Structure 1
Amino acid sequence: MCGIVGFIGKKEAAPLLVEGLKRLEYRGYDSAGIATLPDGKIERRRAEGKIINLENTLNERPTAGTIGIGHTRWATHGIPNETNAHPHATERVAVVHNGIIENFQELRAELVEKGFTPHSETDSEVVPLLITSYLNEGVSPIEAVKTTLKRLDGAFALGIIFAGEDDLLIGARRGSPLAVGFGEGEMYLGSDAMALAPLTKKIAYLDEGDWVVLKRDQVTFYNEDDQEVSREIRETAMSGALIGKGEHRHYMLKEIFEQPQVIGDTLASFFNPTAQTISMPDFPFDLATIPRITIVACGTSFYAGLVAKYWIEQYARIGVEIDVASEFRYREAPMEKGGLSLFISQSGETADTLAALRYAKSQDQHIMSIVNVPESSMERESHAVLHTHAGPEIGVASTKAFTTQLTVLACFSIALAKAKGAIDPTLEARLCKSIAEVPARVTEILNHDESLRDIAHSVAEARDVLYLGRGASFPIAMEGALKLKEISYIHAEGYAAGEMKHGPIALIDESVPVIVLAPSDSNFEKTASNTQEVVARGGRVIFMADKQGCEKMADHSMASVAMPDVEPFVAPILYSIPVQLLAYHVAVHKGTDVDQPRNLAKSVTVE
């Protein structure tokens, strides 16, 4: 989603701003821009599309100044073009904005009546216009911002600079994250630690409703009541190096191939190799007394949660409710007191998931989050947190973040089942052994890359693709379909294989590839039977199973992918890998933008 970076110091601002924006590319964007103050006057450089277009603009028309703000925009109000790109400005003030100003139409009408002329279609432009209206009344920049913030409804993070004020940068946060970075004679503003990592490791996060006044040698935080407050300065562990693709063509492929390592890193947090047991950190609640679990997430993280529902109900014998965050928060669901609400998010900043978290908190729930980004909003607002250790994920389509989420959820399911007395030591040992073997089994699967590339050629010609699975493979079928949709733009759907006869089988003909996920579990024979129904209607089946399963279905498959023979418990993690690789190779064959697919953002920080 949109990204903010700001700088005030003694160096030239423009190169630092562009560098910070590059580190925010992973969030997804349609346009980019910066504003600086050469000779005290506001100058902007903006460009539609990728940051390279902004760099070309800056090469043609450089801008100087030791203070500035920058932005990558993902369009909400107004089409993605240069006019709607940030920063938005008047002669007196320039602003970058993440989020949505919900009452912008009312404010816009008021400003037009006062004689202001908006030049964009965005909600964001009302902010510099409103600040300017107060400046014109003779108030100071700080007072103008303070008054403006009281008028804004919605979720936002703001970065603001003023003409003639080369030692003043203001930030504000309501709903969207914002961080301050500390340097020697210079200060920074950023949407997250990633933007600031090469500049400083000293970070302070704005709390909800905070605003901050930055000068070269001074930082002053204010809360939503405009009272001066202090905020903790912490050392961030985020690496200062730009993330490279290494030998890989795309970030997505690099991240797929990093999965053996990051799954191993994540396992190391929970698995004791000497005792061959799973242990959780100390929680401020007792797992043994949890009566019910609610899982809330969005997108790929939702599918990770759906796999966890199968695991928890089967092994821990606790009822699990799961919902997408954007629906859950509006259902006003009754929640059993003392229940555990589990929130899953790669970024820890997903707007709908955060809102759902706050609702659950108001319902006397224990709050646990699974996040990949330390120091995120979700972590700070949870009673307990479990970290995935995927490292920065740059590709918009989640790969290693998903499998590390599954890894954490698998470990948690074992620990929960043990705490509940629902599994005996023999089953516990078997499950622990299977999860410990996952990194090595993932490495084996990655050796199928070439065969999956060959299969992708036939899939790339399809208009529609179906993915089928049963049990815990059903969410992986939906995740596989999502991956294909996200990066190749081919229509794809994931179904529970047993549901085919209830409608989707009408779609089957010789032009429809059907990817079947069939690990050797209690559902294998039923999945095989559903596959034969597809074949009988001309469907082209790509069968993913262990060697024995592939041999059984050899006469019914257009192609097969032989998977390792593993404990069914860990099959969802492993079967995620070939569906990722298949989607990747289909997208490459079609020539789409794999790492930054159209219309998508890495971190969705608005509703």
Structure 2
Amino acid sequence: MNSLLTREGWQEQKPERIVECLVPWNLNKERKPEKMCGIFAYLNYNVNRERSHILQVLFNGLRRLEYRGYDSAGIAIDDSSPSSSSSSSSSQCNSNSNFTPSPPLVFRQEGNIESLVKSVYQEVGEIELNLGESFCTHAGIAHTRWATHGEPAPRNSHPQTSGPGNEFLVVHNGVITNYEVLKETLLRHGFNFESETDTEVIPKLAKFVYDKANEAAVGQVVTFSQVVLEVMRHLEGAYALIFKSLHYPNELIACKRGSPLLLGVKELTENKENGSAFEDNKFLSKDGRPRELFLSSDANAVVEHTKKVLVIEDGEVVHLKDGGVSILKFENDKGENGASLSRTSSVRRALSVLEMEVEQINKGHYEHYMQKEIHEQPESLTTTMRGRLIHRGSSKSKSVLLGGLKDHLKTIRRSRRIVFIGCGTSYNAALAARPILEELSGIPVTMEIASDLLDREGPIYREDTAVFVSQSGETADTLLALEYALDNGALCVGITNTVGSAIARNTHCGVHINAGAEIGVASTKAYTSQIVVMVMLALAIGGDTISNQTRREAIIDGLFDLPNKVREVLKLDQVMKELAKLLIAEQSLLVFGRGYNYATALEGALKVKEVALMHSEGILAGEMKHGPLALVDENLPIVVIATRDACFSKQQSVIQQLHARKGRLIVMCSKGDAATVCPNEYCRVIEVPEDVDCLQPVINVVPLQLLAYHLTVLRGFNVDQPRNLAKSVTTQ
């Protein structure tokens, strides 16, 4: 599993390495949907760091997680160091075994991270805390919270505390489903609760366990790991947790169950033996080497510090102490009589090398992430296809190889139907690919919005193939639908941009779209890469029968040339900006599409809705006369997608009918068709390059992405963090 975070071996033409990214498929049946929070922690060992430096590392870690969505933030640092006399310029770290630590300092603030930064420095000034004080070893934790239990407020922000003295502190991503029962128990034992969160029960439970264990273990040392393992035994739900404690200074413990968490390791001295493998229970031994260790919900917050990472797996307890890292595996099963059976064991793991560059998470010369990611699409599409589109033999026969699916293609071909399941943009991407999948495979393809499937408890059969599409791989409704499909015996396929995500781990097989880091909340390059992956899926399932050989080769040729076509359509950037200026004051926008481009209409309207905060609606053009036509007048702007495909003549008819009712038309057509679609110059025309019909949605959505982006900027809204939305929706 040491390639868990690496991309597929494109240069070596080994796309089958995706199997390493998607297995083992161990589903935790009790996982619940989680809230979208960001976790970050930083521990420096045997290297002097000033308090100001530690604060900046924590703040910057949170900034890298902003895209996840949040409404409050907080950090916890130490009040004093073991040797307050050590200077920041000291090259040696001195420890004081008699040092009695002070309670950790906790700072929490509603609002954005800059509000937290401002309040921290204000409070630091008020208490006259020395920012220049140096720490040889220090453990700090940080958190961004999106409110689910309790309103956004400092008392509900993390870190949550065990009570006065901050004996135990916890940051948490997830939902504790049995927190009310735990809270009632702790209230009976005299604990007082200050927040409305489910998280607060965790540090209070840790203090309760610690106190009881010390009462019982007279003369014995109760370790931090023992406390946390006992806490985990009582927790139900989904969580990623980091514990910090007054009783265990300069130590951190991380554990997870269903929520993402990883460890980053930065060696500050050269280690020729690399030290990347575990021996017995040791990952990094307590060898005194200076190190910096990072814990994060996301690789984005770690990559600027180190590329050596370990993805923490469900049930693992990772203990950072004295520069060493040890891992225990915690299992909490039910016995035959229903009793809880808890077991722990040490595990052997190895570091992975994170194949991500800092430049990928920086905006570069672009003003916003969304703008950058729109313009990155030629490169992201190229990367998505690299190693998968191949020429075989001297005849130069064209084919597709998806390594993560090759062992399951026969089963998929025998399916009674293929069911695409997703939410939002991912659903739209699947809808765009449905026609070509039906055409090439001959298998009925149905579409399901994940939440609706669950609400209806729609039928899923053992003979079905269920394809779960999610950019993040952590979407709550999609994950619950995955559980439902697995319970019903379907073959489950994952399509995600996030290696090591819950969907990647829990499906039987799948494809990593490899679009690269996408920071902007409104998905752009992941959407187009998802379509391309699903077109390649259709080619793989359809096989290479003679009857569709010409069609297949035309599609593969189109895929090879697709990045160039997208590069060409991006030249419309200024055209779309000028159009956005004309629409800036409008209240509504309709987008009509048909056939392959019905999905384009839905996705284009969704982008405008998400970021420009303007009502927009994607409409199936065939349904125009069944209600939507009543909205048409001389004031309502309407986009009609009328590029060359089987529905072209039908869309021409739609344009004529809308014109007859004086509709304000914006027509997207293939290059050279302007005079055909708008002969009397009564509409504004956007000409785009023509491609194979099943690939045209990739090209056609780009101008609509640009329109949404420019509308948002001109209207003065936050492009990368739209109101009330987050990158990954991990709560219902």
- Alignment TM-score > 0.5, same fold: yes
Task: Write out aligned runs for 1:57-68 (5 A).
Answer: 57-60=119-122, 61=124, 66-68=138-140
In 1, distance between residues paired with 2:509 and 2:620?
33
Instruction: Using the TM superposition, give the Cα deviation of residue 545 of structure 1 relative to its aligned residue in structure 2, in angstroms.
Output: 1.0
- Do 1:283 and 1:384's aligned partners in 2 also have CA atoms closer than 8 Å? no
| Structure 2: gaps (5+ residues) | 1-35, 81-100, 215-221, 268-290, 333-342
- 2:247 aligned with 1:164: yes
Does the 8 A contact of 2:427 with 2:449 survive in 1? Answer: yes
CA offsets 1:579-598 (integer angstroms, 9 cap, x no match): 10010011011010001111
Whole-Å separation in 1 of the counterparts to 2:385 and 2:714:
34
Q: Deviations over 1:164-216 (max 9, x none)?
A: 31242122222212223344444332213333223333333333343333323
CA displacement, residues 301-351 of structure 1 (integer Å, 9 cap, x when unaligned): 111111121221123221112212233345444333353222222222223
Residue of structure 2 equivalent to 1:602: 727
Provide the rounded CA distance (Å) in 2 between the counterparts of 1:20 and 1:238. 19
- The reply on whether 1:584 has 2:709 as its aligned counterpart is yes
The change in CA–CA distance for 1:47 and 1:269 in structure 2 (over 3 A counts) is farther
Report the Cα offset of residue 560 of structure 1: 1.4
Structure 2: distance between partners of 1:175 and 1:537: 54
CA drift of 1:93 comes to: 1.1
- Please, which moves more after superposition, 256-265 or 509-518? 509-518
* Aligned residue number for residue 277 of structure 1: 399
- 1:423 positional shift: 4.5
Question: Which residue of the partner structure matches residue 531 of structure 2?
Answer: 406
1:134 matched to 2:209: yes
Post-superposition Cα deviations, 1:353-393, rounded to whole Å, max 9, x if no partner, equal 23322332333333322222223232233332322222111
Residue 567 (str. 1) matches residue 699 (str. 2):
no
Asked if structure 1 preserves the Cα contact closer than 8 Å seen for 2:433 and 2:694, the reply is no
Taking the aligned partners of 1:558 and 1:550, their CA distance within structure 2 comes to: 10
Deviates more, 1:597-606 or 1:390-399: 597-606
Task: Give the TM-score taking structure 2 as reference length.
Answer: 0.78
Shift in CA distance, 222/553, structure 1 to aligned 2, threshold 3 Å = same
Are 2:669 and 2:677, in contact at CA under 8 Å, matched by a contact in 1? no
TM-score (norm 1): 0.93
Range with bigger deviation, 442-451 or 32-41:
32-41
What does residue 569 of structure 2 align with?
445
| Deviates further, 34-43 or 115-124 | 115-124
1:230 alignment counterpart? 347
**Contact 1:204–1:231 (CA<8 Å) still a contact in 2?**
no
**CA-CA distance at 1:267 after TM superposition:** 1.7
**Residue of structure 1 in register with 2:615 after alignment:** 491
Give the structure 2 partner of residue 220 of structure 1. 327
Measure how far apart 1:441 and its partner are.
0.8
Whether the 8 Å contact between 1:541 and 1:556 is mirrored in structure 2 is no
Instruction: Give the structure 2 partner of residue 18 of structure 1.
Output: 59
Instruction: Give secondary structure in 2 for the equivalent of 1:369.
Output: strand
Q: What CA deviation, in whole Å up to 9, does each residue of 1:425-451 have, x standing for no partner?
A: 211111111222111111111111111
Shift, 1:47, TM fit: 2.8
1:307 touches 1:472 (CA, 8 Å); kept in 2? yes
1:111-122 equivalences in 2 (<5 Å)? 111-122=186-197
**Match of 2:19?**
none
- Counterparts of 1:231 and 1:483, CA distance in 2: 45
Q: Is the 2:254–2:319 Cα contact (8 Å) retained in structure 1?
A: yes
CA separation in 1, counterparts of 2:194 and 2:264?
Answer: 32
Q: How big is each residue's C-alpha offset from its partner over 1:456-496, in whole Å with a ceiling of 9 and x where there is no partner?
A: 12222111211110011111111111111110111111110
SS in 1 for 2:264: strand
Asked if residue 506 in structure 1 is aligned to residue 630 in structure 2, the reply is yes
Q: Distance in 2 between matches of 1:377 and 1:487?
A: 27
Pair 1:297–1:119, CA change in 2 (3 A) = same
Aligned position for 2:590? 466
Say if 1:516 and 1:531, in contact at 8 Å, map to a contact too: yes
Unaligned runs of 5+ in 1: none
Question: Larger Cα Rg: Structure 1 or Structure 2?
Answer: 2
Measure the CA separation in 2 of the matches of 1:191 and 1:290. Answer: 37
Q: Is the contact between residue 206 and residue 231 of structure 1 (CA under 8 Å) also seen in structure 2? A: no
**1:221-247 deviation line (CA, Å, top 9, x unaligned):** 222334124153241324352622122
1:233 to 1:192, Cα distance in 2 relative to 1, 3 A: farther
Look up the SS of the partner of 1:511 in the other structure. coil
**Of the candidates 554, 573, 577, which is equivalent to residue 430 of structure 1?**
554
Are residues 1:378 and 2:496 paired?
no
Deviation at 1:290, TM superposition (A): 3.8
Give the total of aligned pairs.
606
**Is contact 1:310–1:472 with CA below 8 Å preserved after alignment?**
yes
**Paired amino acid for 2:69:** G
Output the amino acid matched with 2:37.
C
The 8 Å contact of residues 205 and 231 in structure 1, kept in 2 or not, is answered as no
Contact 1:348 1:372 in 2 (8 A): yes
Q: Which moved more, 1:520-529 or 1:440-449?
A: 520-529
The amino acid of 1:102's aligned partner reads: T
Contact 1:194/1:238 (8 A) holds in 2: no
Change (3 A) 1:506 1:150: farther
Name 2:113's counterpart in structure 1: 51
Aligned to 1:418: 543
Specify whether residues 221 and 77 from structure 1 end up closer, same or farther in structure 2 by C-alpha distance, changes over 3 A only: same
CA RMSD of aligned residues (A): 2.4
- Distance change (3 Å), C-alpha of 1:58 and 1:258: same
Contact 1:315–1:422 (8 Å) recurs in 2? no
Q: Does 1:5 align with 2:40?
A: yes
CA contact (8 A) 1:26 1:395 kept: yes
Aligned partners of 1:358, 1:408: CA distance in 2, in Å? 23
